[in-house]
Structure 1
Amino acid sequence: MSTTEHSTPDSAGPDAQGDVDEQNELLEKDDIFHILQNQRRRDSLRYLKKADETVRMRDLAEQVAAWEHDTTLQALTSDERQRVYIALYQSHLPKLDEEGIINYNQSRGIVERTEQAAQLDPYLGDSDDDEATDAQSTMLDKRGSYYGGVLGLSTLLLGGAALNLSLLSLLSVAAVGVVALTAFTVLAMDQFGSSE
């Protein structure tokens, strides 16, 4: 008398089916790195992570283009929008959809994250932190250029006054020193006040 044993999820234990499903959904590290090697795909995933809902593909493309060109949505040119839109439409979003990271309805122009996208989140960083870091970096660049400008102008004025050059000879070296010291003090106070 032979009996046929049917394998069911219950016969292998209560968590067996869940383990199989989880293993099927896990991405290999090489796949993760391949997916994230492109900045537009990373930016798309950052945008979708922040949105945490279904978004229009056009909105996604515009934001990725703005990040890529370090500008605002309003300042984007139609060429900048179009280049990013076409690349996302034809290549990057279908690739993410194929990997199961997003659901991309190309005909309706709708994109949404899947649960599988969470595996990539540790590699994306926090978009709020990135934006804060970008803003802070821009502010530091501006301050550096202000300091450089004041230093250059002060050097020019001091050198001209010391060498008795035509217009600059009207200024005393002490007066130029006071102006330069005042300018650096104002910049330092501004920096100290905005860092609090």
Structure 2
Amino acid sequence: MNQEPVTFDTVLDLCADRHRRIALATLANEQRSLTVNDLTKAIVKHNHHVPVTEMSEGNLSEIQLLLHHVHLPKMEASVLVDYDQERGLVEPTEQFEQVQPQLSAIIKADPDLEPPVDL
């Protein structure tokens, strides 16, 4: 495992996408491993402002596919999370804990994202 510190530029790059910002904020708030389904629910709740039961199956599938193929691999490459694709489980790493103050500041600066970002 890579123990090098995560750079501020990496944190900014990860937070550039709203879905990643919500996923990171949810992981920070929950302080535990979450499933792709958990993160999908958080994105629907905080980005689309509807209950997951009111979201179309196509939109839910699109969010999950983007998480699975784009966002979570990018977060894992930055060593902030471990992503077990087979189990659909996302676990924050020690490096995630180290960048939480930066993440919190970025999330608080988003005028459309009210902390805490929860499930």
- Please tell me the TM-score bracket, short chain as reference: 0.7 to 0.9
User: What displacement does 1:85 show?
Assistant: 0.6
Aligned partner of 1:69 in structure 2 is 48
1:53 aligns with 2:32: yes
Q: What percent of counterpart residues are identical?
A: 24
Higher Cα Rg, which structure? 1
1:111 aligns with 2:95: no
| Equivalent position SS for 2:114 | helix
| Equivalent position SS for 1:130 | coil
Higher normalized contact order (CA 8 Å, seq sep 6+, divided by chain length): 2
Looking at structure 1, the residues matched to 52 and 62 of structure 2 have their Cα atoms a distance apart, in angstroms, of 15
Aligned partner of 1:147 in structure 2 is none
Q: TM-score, normalised by structure 1?
A: 0.50
Q: Say how many residue pairs are matched.
A: 109
Aligned partner of 1:33 in structure 2 is 12
Which letter does structure 1 place at the counterpart of 2:7? E
Looking at structure 1, the residues matched to 16 and 75 of structure 2 have their Cα atoms a distance apart, in angstroms, of 12
Matches within 5 A, 1:127-138: 130-131=114-115
Looking at structure 2, the residues matched to 58 and 40 of structure 1 have their Cα atoms a distance apart, in angstroms, of 13
User: What displacement does 1:56 show?
Assistant: 1.4
4+ aligned runs moved over 4 Å, structure 1: none
Which letter does structure 2 place at the counterpart of 1:30? D
Aligned partner of 2:72 in structure 1 is 93
Unaligned runs of 5+ residues in structure 2 are 108-112
Unaligned runs of 5+ residues in structure 1 are 1-23, 133-196
1:84 aligns with 2:68: no
User: What displacement does 1:37 show?
Assistant: 0.9
Report which of the two has the higher share of helix.
1
Q: TM-score, normalised by structure 2?
A: 0.78
CA RMSD of aligned residues (A): 2.3
